[in-house]
Structure 1
């Protein structure tokens, strides 16, 4: 699989958060990677104001 515009990362997250994002991904049919991209973008916007 080519990750032309993406990079693999390894991280550990809270089990409850993982289950919630997994269920959201299944419910919306949006891949977890896209949901994580959106969450990270929101965090960057939030902290850019500092």
Structure 2
């Protein structure tokens, strides 16, 4: 089996709260946005949130 080559992405492993799995899958299916792109958006939002918080302190 050939291994996929990622040029603009990096693999990482995590886990997700059980109650979030189905809504996350549904959101991806409904919006037709890949889960990896949804995760990118969520992480970007978190980084902005905490960057702002540390700047205010």
2:26 is the alignment partner of 1:23: yes
Ranges in structure 1 where 5+ consecutive residues have no aligned partner: none
**Higher Cα radius of gyration:** 2
Residue segments in structure 2 that go unaligned for 5+ positions in a row:
none
Return the TM-score normalized by structure 2.
0.81
Q: Which runs of 4+ in 1 moved over 3 A?
A: none
TM-score (norm 1): 0.91
The answer to whether structure 1 residue 5 and structure 2 residue 5 are counterparts is: no
